[in-house]
Structure 1
Amino acid sequence: MATLTLTNRKPQLFTCLACQIAFYSAELQRDHYATDWHRYNLKRKVAELPPITSEVFAQKLIDQQAQSQSDAEKASFRAECYVCSKTYYSENAYANHLQSNKHKLAEAKGINQVKKYTLNNNRSETASSKPAPRASENKSSDEIAEISADMEEMSVIDKKIANAVKLEEEDCLFCAEKSASFDENMEHMTKVHSLFIPEIEYLTDLRGLIKYLGEKITVGNICLYCNGRGKSWKSLEAVRKHMLDKGHCSIAYDRDEDIMEISDYYDFTSSYSDDHSKVYVDNSELVLPSGARIGHRSLRLYYKQNLRPREERDSVIINRLLTHYTDNFGYQHNSGGIMIVRDETTRMSRVERFADQKSRAEFTARIGIKGNRLQKHYRPQIL
């Protein structure tokens, strides 16, 4: 009697699709959702940008803090030229003034014997005056350009999110209908637009899923069914019209990336098997040390079969092919078996069948248009 023992399953991983990382516990996953790194990657995902790693995000924070500090120091810059009796609030303007002929001429004449410049840094109330650091001493030109690009990218994302239409729980995803409650809105989308939530028995956050789908439509202008694989749209009205015209009022759930995208709102742990150490016994056959297999007596009917070897001669194969064509496709061959001629009656019968199917389809479409019953099959769903 042969036995089979199953090994232990691999530990379950809790994933974050926005950051493309995995955790060994749900608590770590929930803590990760509250971090600035996760929120930053969510904004990048809405803007159709790839996620960044935690190291890159930390470096961006350091660069942004340094840039903010440098901007604050530049904003507090104040220099006075007592020779010319002028005050400057820009380091470049002050440097250009010192190199000007007018300043050099006034200094040479000794109109006022004062210091060339005084730098007042007002970063704090108790701080003493000291020269403001130059940008070249802190950051190279490449780093400054990178920081500027990142800040511009963040501003574009924030601007797009701020200008996007905000859908409430009572707003329909596919039309301008506004229901009295969230439950009525779900009933409206289910009955009118045939919205079907996949794997609803494992769904744990329906409101969060609907909110995420709404952000995809309003902010990203993405069709829920095409899911970014089709044409891009520029407005909420355009993507809604596309989904209604094409019948795409459904959630993409065919590919692995589609399933993983909304997996954060599901919990499939109840479907996992807990019998990791169960032993399964196979009573159908016995394997001897020599390698021979002894079958169970209940299957002796199959073991006693004596199948003839398949004929592989060319003449037999040719006759088999001729028989296949004449029996299934309406061909005929002469007595010598040389020429194969198509049976005209069979061809005509196939044409007639095609014409009959076409007329039936046209009749069904005509009746559907008159009765307004072209909506796809309605699948009732208990929420």
Structure 2
Amino acid sequence: MPSTTLFTPYGPGCGVSWMTLVDLKQSFTTGRPAFTCASCHAIFESGDAQRTHYQSDWHRYNLRRKVSELPPVTEAIFGQRLYAFLNPDEKAPKPEGLKMECQACRKSFASENSYANHLKSKKHLENETVGLGEPKLVIKPKAKANPELNKDSYLDQDATEEQIREALESKLSMARRLKPEECIFCNHSFESFNDNMEHMVKDHGLYVPDLEFVEDLPGMISYLADKVSVAFCCLYCNASVQPFTSIESVRRHMLDKGHLKIRFDDEGMQELADFYNYEEILSDDGDDEFVDVDDEGEFESALVISPDETELILPSGKRLGNRAYRKYYKQNLPVERDERPSRRSEHQALISRMSDHYLAAGMMQPAAERKYIIDQRRDGERRKEWDQKVSVRANRLQEYFRIQLRQ
């Protein structure tokens, strides 16, 4: 049987032919080297053509068919299928897509074959035997994506700031923003923001880093909700990851990947820096305990006297009062408090409940342990700084000697 040369997209020099037993036998009898592909049943005239074939889509397509225990297809058939896939408009119009659901397992399927395979699965048979429901076919039309929402969602690289601002405003106007009472990770809605936070912490395991330093927790959660519902971005993935097409897809991604958490690294904390306040830690660093008094002139110039000349202000910001007013400083006056309930008290109560849940789950260390670790780190930094100052001062004690040579 003569070999039939097929159409190849690599040019006439490749010499790709459909391999038959006669061709293979002739290659061995004539002494001509046989460059073949077992997956595609093809024979080549040179090794370069064989290596080029291994990088083609036809070869990869037959490899997938081989894994599925299907026979290979010729290059002509593959070209027809590829052309039909790239030009779907030339085919007859297909009916509107339908979605089939199994009431027993509460799952949906896009084709009849997948639904038939599901009916034979072990999980479906178990659900059917325990009485969760009999197999019932429910056909519903597939939900179509909103074309207006995805329109102009991607801008050119040379877009101006005005174009970017207009695109953001149009997307915000068309997108549905989540309310503070709605969960970020599911469709549940609650009566208050506190109930929603307790749900996300207990059911989804949401962990807020450095919770005690969060200054605006509702604003932070609102920003994260807009990131998911408006921008369709994952909370944990970095900015280089392409956004998803819908809120359902990004929720499914976070659930499957375990990304129901806030990113706690330099990039993530820089994004949420406006919602934190670390002034208490930064101000209480104890730098005023170690003061280099060698340069007395510089130290005295750094001291500032208050306008009423009753207090001395140190470089660290602390104030030293006059001894003549010590009886006033010793007074312990009650602090006047507002009797009306404030949102700050509710905010602190919510943070306290969340901290208790984190401590019980082992997700956060007690405050005493954290303070001990912070103090140890500060002591080490101050010790290194002090050793460096002593070493610099000791350089002045170094005596330089010239090598004494006997003449």
TM-score normalised by structure 2 residue count: 0.32
TM-score, normalised to structure 1, is 0.34
Larger relative contact order (Cα-Cα within 8 Å, sequence gap ≥ 6): 1
